[in-house]
A and B are shown apart, each in its own frame.
Chain A
């Protein structure tokens, strides 16, 4: 019984020391992982996360295409609006300019007419 216990203890300590040490080249990674799992110390090691890892070609293509599409949609949506607003402002400005010219012209011609009407009796009297 004691000998059995001793052999188990030896096996466990061997596994533990194997798990602590770097993997021997002769052992395949799968075997080493199993050893580590069985030793119950670290479990199976997984590859560390790499945030800047290189994307798959199809993913980078899809990302760049969607970025270009978004930019095109933005330009397509915003630029015509700006053009429309500029056009509306130009029309409003032209309309306001014509109206001002029209009112000033009317006021000026009425002022001239009123002056003529006011002066004509005097002129007629002067001629008499």
Chain B
């Protein structure tokens, strides 16, 4: 026989689990959402947006998975990705200031991203920051913010991040990349593409 008190405790535990799960899910949705920075977009002369998730990301993974010289860690890292976003804002008329980039850092901090590396050049107004996001004490995403007066780029990669594999990709190993500019050329304004 179970006493009413035991039943109540079980119900409370169940509700608590539901609540925690719901909160975690909400937090994951918040951090996994596409980054939008209206003020930067308004000021920029040129904006590049890349949203890869769901079917488009699966297609991309399948296509890259066909490459012969893809190393195993890179393949594994790539398969674990759940969303990939890129925002690049280019400025020609008025350069980007620190105040313009401030909303980016603020939004990342509000969403629970933790700064991993923050670098700033004292001689030049350039900065580079790498953020990571943790879920269940494991890295569940990374964000990169690089800014200079001409360009601000925000990259957001959701999924378990293998930093060694990422480093290999950055060095041109593991994931050989060809025709990198081709995707961006299509997005540029035809009037400015030749400049």
Contacts and interface: CB of A to CB of B under 8 A. Distances in A.
A71 B78 CA distance: 46
Interface string B48-74: 001010001101111110000000000
B167 A104 contact: no
Interface string A42-75: 0000000000000000000000000000000000
Contacts, number: 117
Interface string A78-108: 0000000000000011111111111111111
Interface SS of chain A: helix, strand, loop or mixed? helix
A111 B64 contact: no
B103 interface: no
Interface stretch (B37-45, B90-98, B105-113, B173-181): B173-181
Nearest to B180: A102
Contact of A113 (B63, B85, B128): B128
Nearest to A120: B119
Nearest to A102: B180
B57 A107 contact: no
A78 to B, nearest CB: 24
Give the most central of A98, A104, A111, A114: most B CB within 10 Å. Answer: A104
A59 B61 CA distance: 58
B128 A96 contact: no
A13 interface: no
Contacts of A104: 78, 84, 157, 166, 169, 175
Interface of A: 92-115, 117-118
Interface of B: 50, 52, 56-57, 59-64, 78, 84-86, 116-117, 119, 128-130, 142, 144, 146, 153, 155, 157, 163, 166-172, 175, 177, 179-180, 182-184, 186
